C-alpha cells in the first residue's frame, strides 16, 4: 500500500506556505509563528502593545476559538475514562 502524505498548509489568512508550527493548536508556517511570537512578547512586555494592536494574532483567533472547545470536550472524555478505570 502506498501512503501519500499531504503537507499541512498554514492557516494564516492568505498564506499558502506549509505549516511547520502551531499556535494554540492552529497550524501555521515558521514566518507567521515568529511574527505572532514577537507580537505576543511585546504584548506581555511592561511597555507593550495593546490587544487591538496584535495584528497577526487577531487574524487566527477565530480558529483558536473554534478548535479549543473540541479539544476541551475530548480532554474531558479522556480524563473521565481514566478516573473510571481507577475506580474499577
pLDDT category at 84 given cuts 50, 70, 90 is very low
Residue 10's pLDDT is 97
Question: Is position 79 within any domain?
Answer: yes
pLDDT tens-place string over residues 68-80: 776 667 666 666 5
38: in domain:
yes
Q: Residue 66 belongs to what domain range?
A: 21-87
The string of pLDDT tens digits covering residues 7-65 is 899 999 999 999 999 999 899 999 999 999 999 999 999 888 999 999 999 999 999 88
DSSP readout, 7-76?
A: PPBP-STT--SBP-EEETTEEE-HHHHHHHHHHHHHHHSTT---GGG-HHHHTTHHHHHHHHHHHHHHHH
52 neighbors 41 (Cβ within 8 angstroms):
no
Structural domains of the chain, count: 1
Is residue 56 one of the residues assigned to a domain? yes
Assigned domain for 50 exists? yes
Amino acid at each position: 500500500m502506498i501512503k501519500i502524505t499531504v503537507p499541512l498548509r498554514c492557516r494564516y489568512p492568505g498564506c499558502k506556505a506549509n505549516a511547520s508550527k502551531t499556535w494554540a493548536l492552529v497550524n501555521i508556517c515558521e514566518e507567521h509563528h515568529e511574527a505572532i511570537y514577537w507580537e505576543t512578547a511585546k504584548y506581555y512586555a511592561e511597555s507593550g502593545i495593546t490587544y487591538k494592536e496584535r495584528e497577526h494574532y487577531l487574524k487566527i483567533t477565530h480558529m483558536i476559538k473554534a478548535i479549543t472547545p473540541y479539544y476541551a470536550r475530548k480532554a474531558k472524555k479522556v480524563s473521565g475514562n481514566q478516573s473510571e478505570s481507577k475506580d474499577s
